Amino acid sequence: MMKISHHKYLAILAILFAIEFLVLAVSPHDRSDWALENLLAMIFILVIGLSYRPFPLSRISYTLLFIFMCLHEIGAHYTYAKVPYDSFLTAQFGVSLNEWMGWERNHFDRLVHFLFGLLIAYPIREFYCRIADSKGFWGYFFPLELTMAASMMFELFEWGAAALFGGELGIAYLGTQGDIWDAHKDMALASLGALLSMGFTLILNLRIQKDFKEEWAASLSIKNKKPLGEDEIIRLIQEADRKTALS
């Protein structure tokens, strides 16, 4: 089988996403909410597109990002609180997931927050390993932390947008569905997804990476035994004074 080039693979994903976007852009449930939901999405897609030549990601990372964005567009079309997954399952399979699980709310937003962590953590890890040269323990810890931070920043963005626009648009965008702990649960699920993603990546690398244990140990070793803080500030000032005196 002929191997698809990196460029063609990304082009295929872009075309498929563009088709989904255009289809779901027709008659969304709430046009204002759809536009607001897609604000960050379009910025994110623009960044991915502009970064392709100087910093292409792996096919795995692009695929994970593609899956997440496709799910997001479904949420944007219906508004997250009204995605008819339960009606679809009932019509197609005669099973109500909400009834079976004892749910009283629409949980599509919970699923997407969980998948945000699960799907986004690996691309973030690739970024860290290639830019910051994170290895060993830090190659798993920092991607987890940044994914959790990104989830928190999105919740703050939601809060700000809802406070700015208010009314029905603000309520639709927040999608709390009356749950005062909605933001906390969303962040917890995103964190769980990221933890599972990094846990799976760690186990896989433990099995296939020959120097895994050595790299892990080296990442936790002390690189500079001298204290920083005020000691480092004094050292830098003294070094700057010496250079000034010599010049």
Average pLDDT over residues 51-78: 96
Amino acid residing at 1: M
The predicted structure's pLDDT at residue 1: 40
Mean pLDDT of 132-141: 94
pLDDT at 70: 97
Helix, strand and coil content of the chain, in percent to the nearest 5, comes to: 75, 0, 25
Q: Which residues contact 66 (CB under 8 A, 6 or more apart)?
A: 13, 16, 17
The 10s digit of each residue's pLDDT in 94-111 is 989 989 988 888 899 999
In this predicted structure, the answer to whether residue 132 has a pLDDT above a threshold of 80 is: yes
The pLDDT score that the predictor gives to residue 16 is 97
Contact 122, 64 (CB under 8 A): yes
Give me the sign of the Cα torsion angle 223, 229, 230, 235: positive
Instruction: State yes or no: pLDDT of 31 exceeds 60.
Output: yes
State mean pLDDT over 153-174: 81
pLDDT of residue 247: 74
How far does the chain reach from its first CA to its final CA, in angstroms? 66
Q: Which helix (H) or strand (E) segment is 184 a member of?
A: helix 182-208
pLDDT tens, residue by residue, 167-201: 777 777 777 777 788 889 999 999 999 999 999 99
Query: Residues of the chain with pLDDT > 90: what percent?
Result: 70
- Residues 211-228 pLDDT 10s: 999 999 999 999 888 888
Residue 19 confidence (pLDDT): 97
- Residue 126 CB contacts under 8 Å (≥ 6 apart), including other chains: 57, 58, 61
